[in-house]
Chain A
Amino acid sequence: DVVMTQYPGSLAVSLGERATIHCKSSQSVLSSSNNKNSLAWYQQKSGQPPKLLIYWASVRESGVPDRFSGSGSGTDFTLTIDSLQTADLAVYYCQQYYNIPLTFGGGTKVEIK
């Protein structure tokens, strides 16, 4: 299985500041068939289902604010939230779809400082 490791487990960021979340996979998730990284990011607010933010490591889902961005390649990925807002309080998960089973990182809880 592809093991996904997220860090930090939690972080507190001041409103208007940047939050950076890291995700590392145990093997490369770069697909040779299309040269894209098979990685998605989700946001889960308390008591709600996950919401897709980003796929192919950097493609923002329709309707997702542009303060959310994804980057990285191979085994190391980053989700950046620019100008953090109160609505961004949530747990964020990375997920690989390079191989089955689909696997998630352990989550990063973003809190407001």
Chain B
Amino acid sequence: EVHLAESGGGLVQPGGSLRLSCAASGFTFSTYSMNWFRQAPGKGLEWVSFISSSRFSIYYADSVKGRFTISRDNANNSLYLQMNSLRAEDTAVYYCARGWYDIVTGYPDWSDQWGQGTLVTVSS
């Protein structure tokens, strides 16, 4: 059974940093691309970042570009999101999700498995 478990969320002051982790199990992690999404309290879904299985393709939403860094450790079945210069508007539940990938365009497709999410609160 596929399982994705996010961790690392919490309360952080504006301008601070946080590193989210996502532990994957139940599938061959190294062969799948991965995404981070977020959902502000009471709001809709927002895509944050994508990384292909080989790390060859990495993309970010404009709202986090230059502040967030996605990475992965295929040997340890783990996905990460380093978040720096955090702002109040980054407050959200962050989800990692297994994604499909268009090898022709190099772009992410849909996400078929999601973790339960971890809450990040940016506040003084």
Interface residues of A (CB under 8 A from B): 31, 33-34, 38, 40, 42, 44, 48-52, 55, 61, 93, 95, 97, 99-107
Count, A-B residue pairs, CB within 8 A: 62
Within 8 A of A (CB), among B27-43: 35, 37
Interface residues of B (CB under 8 A from A): 35, 37, 44-47, 50, 59, 61-62, 95, 97, 100, 102, 104-105, 107-117
A52→B44 contact, CB < 8 A: no
Looking at chain B's contact residues, the main secondary structure is strand
What B residues does A52 contact at CB under 8 A?
110-113
B44→A40 contact, CB < 8 A: no
What B residues does A97 contact at CB under 8 A?
102, 107-110
What B residues does A42 contact at CB under 8 A?
45
What B residues does A49 contact at CB under 8 A?
95, 97, 114-117
Known contacts being A33-B105, A49-B95, A49-B117, is A93 close to B44, with CB within 8 Å?
yes
B3 CB → nearest A CB, Å: 12
B45→A100 contact, CB < 8 A: no
Interface centre among B95, B112, B113 (most CB of A within 10 A): B112
What A residues does B47 contact at CB under 8 A?
101-104
B112→A93 contact, CB < 8 A: no
